[in-house]
Amino acid sequence: MAKYAFYPGCSLETGGIEYGMSSHAVAEALGIEFLEVPDWNCCGASSAHMTDHLLSLALPARVLALAETLPVNEMVAPCAACHQRFAAVEYELQNEDLRRKVNSLLERPYTGKVRLRSYLDVFANPATLEEIRKKVKRSLKGLKVACYYGCLFVKPPKLVNFVDDPENPQAMDNIMRVLGAEPLPWPYKTECCGASLGMTREDACTKLCNDILKIAKDSGADCIVAACPLCQQNLDMRQITVEKKYGTQYRMPIPFFTQLIGLALGLDPKVLGFKKLFVDPVMVLRKVGAA
Ligand code: SF4
């Protein structure tokens, strides 16, 4: 059984609760074990790296150090923003001097023993894909999806340590194919949705969301599949503002990729948190015979 340290971050227990619900349900169905990091703290993605460099490294380094108390070799962070902060720590703390400085702030030193694994890769690696294929009970045939990776999971390649094409990633597309869905070729897979500008530059953020929603719709997508709670929330909740400003009507459901895996495995949509989505996903559920 694959076993990973699991870092939920703030989002998976708040705005992205359905990502957490579906992640745990799907992991259980696939025999993957997620062990929550004990006494984890915020990774600091939202502000620490803009205010204090050492703090921005110490926050995620503390989490990785605590993950070392678990019987695992790898840790996952389903939130792309968190993932990138942990990736930054792994990259920057190769520098011995910096590692000493950061460790002087921690009760338990970071040693690098537990490595960060991309959350997408947990499901998109060949062995898990095969396991999913064997367990599909409700094919998503007929569902056209635009896989949206956002800008943090796959870029910059030397930092995130994710073996995929940073401009045209395939991990989520491969998962969708195994589920029976049709991943569309579309050009905005890794365009930034501006989630971090949501408060300070709402105008810019609204435009970025509109661009992504428009291209997905023009490409024929039934839904945009997300892999990050910040992107998902941005594209899902901001649609009313976008539609008002641009005089359009997208009504585009934004499910998490783990919710779609769960649907295909035959799990109850309630367990997967479909009701928590802002734009009603009923059209998606109907299309695959789950509503
Ligand atoms: S990404 Fe943001 S919300 Fe998620 S744990 Fe890190 S700081 Fe908190």
pLDDT value at 242 more than 90: yes
Res 112: pLDDT: 96
| Mean pLDDT, rounded, of the chain | 94
Which pairs count as long-range contacts for 238-242, CB under 8 Å and 24+ apart, including other chains? 238/198, 238/205, 238/206, 238/209, 239/209, 239/213, 239/278, 239/279, 241/202, 241/206, 242/206, 242/209, 242/210, 242/213
Whether the Cβ atoms of residue 183 and residue 177 lie closer than 8 Å to each other: yes
pTM: 0.95
Is the beta carbon of 42 within 6 A of some atom in ligand 1?
Answer: yes
Measured from the CA of 47, which atom of ligand 1 is nearest?
A: 7
Measured from the CA of 12, which atom of ligand 1 is nearest?
A: 4
Pocket test residue of 7, 10, 116 for ligand 1, highest count of atoms within 8 A of CB: 10
The mean per-residue pLDDT over the stretch 83-89 comes to: 95
The mean per-residue pLDDT over the stretch 239-264 comes to: 96
pLDDT value at 149 more than 90: yes
**125 C-alpha to ligand 1 centroid (Å):** 26
Cβ count within 10 A of residue 109:
15
End-to-end Cα separation, the chain, in angstroms: 32
Six-digit token string for 134: 């064997």
Res 200: pLDDT: 82
